Chain A
Amino acid sequence: MINTSPEPLLTLSNVNTFYGQAQVHFDLSITVSRGHIVCLLGGNASGKSTTMKIILGLVKPRSGEVTFDGASLIGLSTPQIVRRGIASVPEARRLFADMSVRENILMGAFVRNDREAVAQDLDRMLTLFPKLGQRLSQRAGSLSGGEQQMVAMARALMSRPRMIVMDEPTMGLSPLYVDRVLELIRSINQVGVSVFMVEQNASLALEIAHEAYVLQTGRIVLSGPARALKDDPRIRDAYLGGSEAA
């Protein structure tokens, strides 16, 4: 698990974000090392999802720097950022509900033009997610939540990303699927894809992450190796303060 070169792949430094008058992020700084799983923990309204949107270029920070592989992402459009090698598994999956499962997975390869390799990757996805094989021509909207999560992950992998950002990948899933998703994230990571995930479920996320950050009303209040944070009593405190959700 220990990576020999903790060279940074993605960095956010001193990011300040506003929605109108309201400040969402206060000098946010996060580093995702190459080959690592990094997880961002926090309750409701802590600014987690906005962090995802900043990385993907869906929201522009007022100040601060975001770099990926040494180059700045500030000012790039979302499609340009995706072409740099960042794929996403959005919150609540966000599949193209009226398109088939097959079309959904292939949409993940939208930025690629190597048809044959894309076809091979589709086959690989079906070995990784065997259940989807029987569902290929079904409307994506008709799948169960867990199956949809599989499609969303397969879709993200199809662009052969260097990093995947995931927004609450276990939200709303049955316990069986939660384990399966975590296992998959780990195996995705083992083939060299870095993962940045946003989670509310701290204990699960810390199981698989290398590093973790705890975000509270827009500020990083705690960070460090996941193993150390797992036993930290402040993790619990961070949750009980600042959030009304259990």
Chain B
Amino acid sequence: MSSWLDYTINGLIVGNVYALVAVGLALIFGVSRLINFAQGSIYLVGAYIGWVAVVRLHTPLPLTIIVVAAAAAVVGLIIERFGLRPLQNSVRIAPLLATIGISFVLDQLVMLTFSPNPRALPSQLPDVRFQLGGGTIGPLDLLIAGVGLTSALLLFVFLRYTKLGWAVRATAQDRDAAMQMGVDVNRVNQAVFGIAAALGGVSGMLVGMYYNQIDTAMSLQATLKGVVAEVVGGAGNVPGAVIGSLLLGLVESYGVAILGTSYRNLFAFLLLVVVLVLRPNGLFVSARQAPPEPLTGTFVAPSRPVHIPRLVLLVAVAGFALLPLFPVSFYVLQTLINAWLLGMLALSLTLVAGTMGQVSLGHAALLAIGAYTSALLSLTLAVPTGLAVIGGGLMSAALGTLLISPSFRLRGHYVSIATLAIGEIVSLVILNWESVTRGPIGISGIPPLSLFGYDLISPSSVYWFSLAVMVVLALLQGRLLSSHLGRSFRAIRDDDIAARAYGLSLNRYKSLAFIFGGFAAGISGGIAAHLYSYINHETFNTQQSILALTVVILGGLGNVVGAIAGSVALVGLPELFRIAAEYRILIYGIVLLLLVRFRPQGLLGTI
């Protein structure tokens, strides 16, 4: 009995922390209809500023809180001014992609400055527990609750009784009308980003103190949790975000009590998917009300694709095919093999995100499904690896499409959130389904690729194999795009309502796109598994999904040749310039930001 009270207290405290993140997300969504994927990075920055203040500067707790809030607010203002304001007139999904880029840049900067090793963040509070009913509560719990309540109160007063607060509310309800009342919406945006960042930064610091540990992995987790809480409460609804956060905290806490710690995140993401599918407006808005914004508009900037003569393509393919015959180093071949594997993933994503307009942030899950299927088929059922890889592709096509199908009824931002959550769910299921996936230990000793009884062990044979598979997939996809199917995909992307009015079944075409894309990605994951010989639940992570997205935007969304060229560029160039691994993610983030800002149609143009 007493432990249940403890779990309740724990759930509410954690919920308070989520609320600080989610309220910021809700304010920003309210004013600019943007889901700020950089919110978790600000939370991370807050935690590390807190660490500097406490451990290096020995500031007293109240001052620490003020320093963290102020510094995080400055980061928020910089993001708004230089990252987002220049994108005001571009397509709606552009700022979303920009916040993803910003979050990569911020996370990597923190990692480069402080190293990825976890650090302890002492709370400076006495370590005592008070009895409360049947449970216990500590001073840090009270601090978190106090900060949460105070922030909520201040925010309420701000929104209700100050002029700027009125401007924020008016802008959230009707941006144009607010401008016609004389509201400077840029100032409103600034205010909202500053407040959201201050709250997020303090939240990160409090969490660091709560677990007495901070590390750079906190960032993505915080963004995801904040987004879950915000969407559960109804996007843009500030009180809803608070209630959604507390609910999320409780669900997680009770879930952990029943099933164990490793299930914590699974509950969060399942809750998100269920809410998105059943009540996309959140729990507190009547179901019949229209969503706050249709959230349409893809990132596909209209452009004329660069025409590449067939001969040039043939020469390029032949050149790459003949490469192993020349005395090139193993290192070059290895790099290009990675590029071909990424190329298959990019083909998949460029079809789904570019041609179909469903910006998926969970594409690494398709790799993981293909990889695990192929690895397990060859290891436990002794299926020849060549067939196992195909099995991986088929499984990824079937299971991937099935898992992603709940997102078919969503649009715009919501597709991105849902696919991100589905990607996380796949990774968490792999972690927890130990009888099949061997859980956290991962799968080792995966046999190498073989074809008709011959093992492909030499680098050049693996190189040829992966290049050939990628070229075949690219040709198939090119064929698909020029058929009536390709036209239907693009019609749905450009205007799904009109497409439906012409009798196109959205679910059927979205399924077809994901089946084809899932197959390509599954093959890529399958080959990777046999190449690496060891995989675990973290081998295919969100970073890879984002890398693939950067690749396809670089190449031009929907552009088959562009997807491959983008893969070669983003895998090859860092190798060519011998850029150390820890800087690469930073560079991907910067590339994404520059593309969104200056060349949204990519290098070869969108199709």
Residues of A within 8 A of B (CB): 56, 58, 77-79, 82-83, 87-88, 90, 94-99, 103, 106-108, 110-111, 155, 159
Contacts and interface: CB of A to CB of B under 8 A. Distances in A.
Contacts of B176: 58, 90, 94
A131 to B, nearest CB: 22
Contacts of B163: 110
Nearest to A93: B177
A20 to B, nearest CB: 10
A52 B424 CA distance: 48
Interface stretch (B179-187, B224-232, B333-341): B179-187
Contacts of A58: 176, 179-180
Contacts of A79: 179, 182-184
Q: Which A-B residue pairs are the 6 nearest by beta carbons?
A: A111-B182, A82-B182, A94-B177, A78-B179, A96-B173, A110-B181
A88 B174 CA distance: 14
Contact of A98 (B166, B173, B178, B184): B173
A99 B166 CA distance: 9
B173 A110 contact: no
B286 to A, nearest CB: 13
A155 B179 contact: no
A120 B590 CA distance: 54
Contacts of B169: 96, 98-99
Given A90-B177, A94-B176, A77 B184 contact: yes
B167 interface: yes
A107 B174 contact: no
B170 interface: yes
A197 to B, nearest CB: 15
Nearest to A111: B182
A138 to B, nearest CB: 15
A82 B180 CA distance: 7
A56 B174 contact: no
Contacts of B173: 96-99
Nearest to A158: B181
Contact of B183 (A88, A90, A110): A110
B601 to A, nearest CB: 16
Interface in B172-226: 173-174, 176-184
Interface in B149-164: 163
Contacts of A96: 169-170, 173-174, 177-178
A19 to B, nearest CB: 13
A83 B182 contact: yes
Given A107-B166, A110-B167, A159 B182 contact: yes
18 contacts: A56-B180, A58-B180, A78-B182, A79-B183, A79-B184, A82-B180, A83-B182, A94-B177, A95-B174, A95-B177, A96-B174, A96-B177, A97-B173, A99-B169, A106-B166, A108-B181, A110-B181, A111-B181
A243 B358 CA distance: 38
Contacts of B170: 96, 99, 107, 110
A110 B182 contact: yes
B180 A78 contact: yes
Contacts of A87: 180
Contacts of A106: 166
Contacts of A108: 181
Contacts of B184: 77, 79
Nearest to B177: A94
B166 A110 contact: yes
A90 B166 CA distance: 19
Contact of A103 (B166, B179, B180, B183): B166
A78 B175 CA distance: 11
A82 B177 CA distance: 11
A95 B173 CA distance: 9
A22 to B, nearest CB: 15
B166 to A, nearest CB: 6
A176 B167 CA distance: 34
Nearest to B180: A88
Nearest to B237: A98
Nearest to A86: B180
A66 to B, nearest CB: 16
Contacts of B182: 78-79, 82-83, 110-111, 159
B443 to A, nearest CB: 53
A97 B292 CA distance: 12
Interface string B384-428: 000000000000000000000000000000000000000000000
Contacts of A88: 180
B174 A94 contact: yes
A82 B173 CA distance: 19
B482 to A, nearest CB: 27
A56 B178 CA distance: 12
Contacts of B181: 82, 107-108, 110-111, 155, 159
Contacts of A97: 173-174
Nearest to B167: A110
Contacts of A56: 180
The listed residue with most B CB atoms (<10 A of its CB), out of A58, A78, A82, is A78
Contacts of A103: 166
A155 B180 CA distance: 11
Contacts of A107: 166, 170, 178, 181
B189 to A, nearest CB: 13
The listed residue with most A CB atoms (<10 A of its CB), out of B163, B167, B181, B184, is B181
Nearest to B163: A110
Contacts of B177: 90, 94-96
A58 B185 CA distance: 13
Contacts of B183: 79, 110
